Amino acid sequence: MLARIVPITEFRNRARELLISLEDRPVILTRRGRPAAVLLRYEDYEAREEYIRDLEMERDRQLLLEAKATATEFISLNELIEDYEQATGHNLDDYDDSLPIEN
């Protein structure tokens, strides 16, 4: 389904007609010859959003499965702090001990 390309100035003059034409195909609005916006039926928008959400959920599920499959080693809190300090150059002992820390 190819979109119809319409300058914004033309859309201003033919808005009703172009909105009705969304049943057939989306409309790409251009400003100075460059794409500025896309008009499509709300149902099409919702379907695309749902498709994207489904893809993201599947990606996250795959990443979690991979992480679980490769998690063979755990490190202690002290090792984590040491790694952080080496990676960032920040010494956590320099921070105020009065900060609330929940256990």
- CATH code: domain of residue 29: 3.40.1620.10
Position 70 in a domain: no
Mean pLDDT of the chain, nearest integer = 88
Position 50 in a domain: no
Position 99 in a domain: no
In 3D space, the residue among 32, 39, 34 whose CA is nearest the CA of residue 3 turns out to be: 39
Position 47 in a domain: no
> Which residues contact residue 84 at a Cβ distance below 8 angstroms, ignoring those fewer than 6 apart?
90, 92
Q: pTM higher than 0.75 for the full model?
A: no
Give the tens place of pLDDT for each residue, 73-100.
Answer: 778 888 888 888 888 888 877 766 655 5
Position 22 in a domain: yes
Position 69 in a domain: no
Indicate the number of domains in the chain.
1
Identify the domain containing residue 9 by its residue range. Answer: 4-40
**Backbone dihedral angles phi then psi of residue 30, each to the nearest 5 degrees:** -115, 150
Position 33 in a domain: yes
Position 34 in a domain: yes
